[in-house]
Amino acid sequence: MVQDFIKFYSQGKKKSIYIYAVFLGLNGSKYFLYSLIIALFIFMSFYSYILIVHMYLKYKCVAF
């Protein structure tokens, strides 16, 4: 399951993270909250990484 999640995350599909969280929640309700928090954290870190790269390229182009 972890390998599938890494495969989904490496593809960069945002919906698959939430699908994985719901799928894990169906298997065990006690893991649902933790998986949702982890999925949200990974989604935010992935979004912030894209934002940082975008800002870096923007200011790099402005600088040169």
DSSP assignment of the chain, as one string? -HHHHHHHHHHT-HHHHHHHHHHHHHH-GGGHHHHHHHHHHHHHHHHHHHHHHHHHHHHHHHH-
pTM across the whole model: 0.33
Sequence-distant (6+) residues with CB within 8 A of 39 are 17, 18, 20, 21
- Predicted pLDDT of residue 60: 73
d(CA 60, CA 21): 37
Q: What is the pLDDT along the chain (64 residues), one digit of tens a residue?
A: 556 655 655 565 566 666 666 666 565 566 667 777 777 787 777 777 777 787 777 777 665 4
Rg from Cα positions in the chain: 15
